[in-house]
Amino acid sequence: MKELPEYYQPWMEIANKLPYLIESHQLRACVNKQMPLLSCHLLEGHRQLRLAHLVLSAVTMGYVWQEREKQPAEVLPRSLAIPMVEVSKILGLPPILAHSDLVLTNWTKKDPKGPLEISNLETIVSLPGGESLRGFVLVTVLVEKAAVPGIKALAQAISAILQSNEDTLLKALQRLRLSIQDITRTLGQMHDYVDPDIFYAVIRIFLSGWSDNPAMPKGLMYEGVSTEPLKCSGGSAAQSTVLHAFDEFLGVCHSEESADFLCRMRDYMPPSHKAFIEEIHSAPSLRDHILDRGQACCLEAYNLCLEALVELRSYHIIIVTKYLITAAARARSRGASHLPEPSQALENRGTGGSVVLSFLKSVRDQTQKAILPLRD
């Protein structure tokens, strides 16, 4: 779905011009003067609500960060704040741009009958960053697509454990490993479509939130909604259901600090996604099954899944080093350039607010520790 009902055209008109309005420093004035306070009662069904949340949350990010971290907006005007919070409550999502908005809701096929490939995809709502922003969103869409066989394999494997069917379990673990490896390969397309300097200096700030952010220590006031500022984390890959589900299924236990962050990120997922992870958690333990009575071939397949997950997390560290750490060093040495001055407060943080490299290394190392010794 790319359009909302006619009543919501004022929202769509702003959303369709978002990069221009932000870069020309006109978005705040446009929202303040031209955006009417609209009721959400004409939004029908899940897809219209999800598109409304994408549109409103993208406008929110542009409004807050139009002047970047030097002058973030402290108050979100009621014409934006009230419907943003209303739609969020209906969907069970936070009133900020989350992974489920920027990625899961924000793609459409150019040719409806064509393949789900980057050449046939486009974003619905954009932010500053041009082709790099488009590439960042759509490569992440394809990462989610690569995870689909793995997600299906989880359900098949749990069913196999309940039925004590080792052959079906083995095949499901093999499918899971192949899916994780495909995710890693797909993630590599970031190098082809996303410029690290543009990601660091332009895109990143518009994905940042107002929790654990030194640029907005008090949070954001949602006018007409709350008398106190609200604190929300920015969009993050940790808000994707995929690796949470894989970790729960494979029995990967993270450090207390990392686990606390990951648990908070589950509140930024659609409720059905969060429920899916919790259902995997409450299902019979694969790890216990392998340790107690699993066949040697299933033990080996289990370890190969973990090794593939370690490789994925190691590759994610390489990507983040390129797009955050190395790009930050380049920005410091570059001085004046055509790119905006990047955020200093967020220099070593992910957009979700984590101290990014130490977090990623911790979850990778804990995944490595989950690998079981082979039987004699």
| Binding-site residues from annotation for heme b | 316
Q: Which residues contact 118 (CB under 8 A, 6 or more apart)?
A: 135, 138, 139, 142, 189, 193
- Alpha-carbon dihedral of residues 192, 197, 199, 202, nearest 10 degrees? -140
Q: Is 184 in contact with 276 (CB distance < 8 Å)?
A: no
Residue 306 to residue 167: CA distance in whole angstroms: 19
| Binding-site residues from annotation | 316
For 303, the token pair is 């370890």
Q: Is 310 in contact with 360 (CB distance < 8 Å)?
A: no
Residue 177 to residue 168: CA distance in whole angstroms: 14
Q: Compute CA 206 distance to the chain's CA centroid, rounded to the nearest angstrom.
A: 13
Q: Is 356 in contact with 348 (CB distance < 8 Å)?
A: yes
For 198, the token pair is 């543009």
The amino acid present at 258, given as its one-letter code, is S
Q: Are strands 75-76 and 221-222 parallel, antiparallel or unpaired?
A: parallel
- Alpha-carbon dihedral of residues 349, 355, 357, 361, nearest 10 degrees? -150
Helices (H) and strands (E) in the chain, counts: 17, 4
Q: Is 77 in contact with 215 (CB distance < 8 Å)?
A: no
Rounded to whole angstroms, what are the CA distances from 144 to 128, 160, 301? 23, 24, 23
Return the sign of the alpha-carbon dihedral for residues 139, 323, 307, 279: negative
Residue 360 to residue 258: CA distance in whole angstroms: 9
